[in-house]
Amino acid sequence: MRLTPPTSYEAEESLLGACIAAQLPPPCDPGDFTCELHQSIAKAMHELDAKGLGQDLVLISKRVEELSGKAYGSKECAHVATTITNDSNLETYARVVTQYSRARQMQRGAVNLISQLSENFGAIDEIMDRYVADVLTLSDGGMGAESECTAKQGMIQLMRQLEARYESKSQLIGLPYGLRKLDMLTCGMEPQEYVVLAARPSMGKTLAALQITRHVADRGKRVLWFSLDMSKEGLFQRLVASGAKVNLQQIRNGQMSGQEYARVSIAATKLAELDIVVCDTPCTELDILRKTRKVKPDLVVVDFLQKIKPLRRSSNRVADYTEVSASMKNTLKELDIPGLVLCQLSRDNEKESRRPKLSDLRETGAIEQDADTVIFLHAKNKTDPTREIIIDKQRQGECALFEVAFVGEYQRFEELAYEN
């Protein structure tokens, strides 16, 4: 009996077209494709991504021509690229291609089992053990060996990290927040850490995120900002006001003294040297993944989560933002970087005249579950000269509360005296 390998050329072609539109390499191995052209295109896209190059059709075509021995080139690549011109169903196509690939592997395994049993029936136990091992490997869903770690490997890695931290004598493990007490309590933002900074409007969460951005960038790190609530011009004005200690309103209307203008000029010159990339266009969670993979930052900041457009909209906002939050967490884990995600709070704490709590996070309880650290900004009213910083969740540390000075005029937070 001749078996036809299960495949879907349409799904493979659609996935590649969607990936070219999204400027991302396929989220599966070239070997998951059945067509030689599709395998070559996928391999070329992965190679370009590994080199930090964009998914340019000319570069893809040139590499495909080399890989296929000139059997395929620009004409075939252009056809694939124009099959699908948007990335809205990329994940669906990837899932279909991966499922068909696993089905073919299962089919080959079954055929191989029948062949081995026919040729060497006496070794049935050994054949069965190998077959079961292959099936279990396949059922792992493609998880590689790098996802596994023995206790010995874990302890060796841990002791190396501890040795480096002991020698450095620094309280920071990750990237700094820039407020000494917050850094002391959290040890900074570690790779893959999903940090939520939440507050009611006008409490200063964007201001706080910008101040954190400045401290991280001052260390020579690259920060990628998704400003979904404010224009990039507004962000840069706030950064300059904070750095120059000049009233934001005076910067906006240009009514500055000669000394103030000089301070603004110096601050702008220093800020221009920092590696901060701002994206202020509306985007989905897939857009954030795509841009983050392209820019390769050390920290990603999203202002704010409820402004992200769900990739698949439904009538249920809770379900939409549960998926958005999960996507953010997966992005940080995949790219091994920390993320600072700003979030709106419901009005409940204002109505009840109390401090915010985790259940006040708007839209979905998934945010409080996904987040590694949740920090609230709180004040009795918007004119209060201080803000409470409340660490209400921290997987690797304690919860805490302390106050900082809120200098709205200069768009900055400043330390209050506290005991070490």
What's the confidence (pLDDT) of residue 33?
A: 93
308/331 Cα distance (integer angstroms)? 14
What's the confidence (pLDDT) of residue 142?
A: 47
Residue recorded with tokens 């592997």: 105
What's the confidence (pLDDT) of residue 122?
A: 64
Assign domain 180-414 to its CATH superfamily. Answer: P-loop containing nucleotide triphosphate hydrolases (3.40.50.300)
Assign domain 9-145 to its CATH superfamily. Answer: DNAb Helicase; Chain A (1.10.860.10)
- The pLDDT-based confidence of 420 (bands split at 50, 70, 90) is very low
- The pLDDT-based confidence of 374 (bands split at 50, 70, 90) is very high
Phi, psi of 335 (to 5 degrees): -90, -5
What's the confidence (pLDDT) of residue 147?
A: 56
What's the confidence (pLDDT) of residue 333?
A: 86
What's the confidence (pLDDT) of residue 138?
A: 59
What's the confidence (pLDDT) of residue 135?
A: 64
Domain boundaries, the chain: 9-145, 180-414
283/221 Cα distance (integer angstroms)? 24
More confident residue, 286 or 405: 405
Mean pLDDT over residues 352-367, rounded? 76
pLDDT digits (tens, 9 = 90+) for 229-248: 888 888 888 888 888 888 88
Judged against a pLDDT cut of 80, whether residue 129 lies above it is answered with no
What's the confidence (pLDDT) of residue 143?
A: 44
What's the confidence (pLDDT) of residue 419?
A: 45
Give the residue from 280, 384, 286, 393 showing the smallest Cα distance to 331: 286
> 255, exposed or middle or buried, with CB in 10 Å at 0-12, 13-18, 19+?
exposed
pLDDT digits (tens, 9 = 90+) for 131-165: 666 665 555 554 444 556 778 777 887 788 788 77
- The pLDDT-based confidence of 16 (bands split at 50, 70, 90) is very high
Q: Which of 28-32, 99-103, 144-148 shows the lowest mean pLDDT across its residues? A: 144-148
Reading the block at residue 345, the tokens are 């709070």
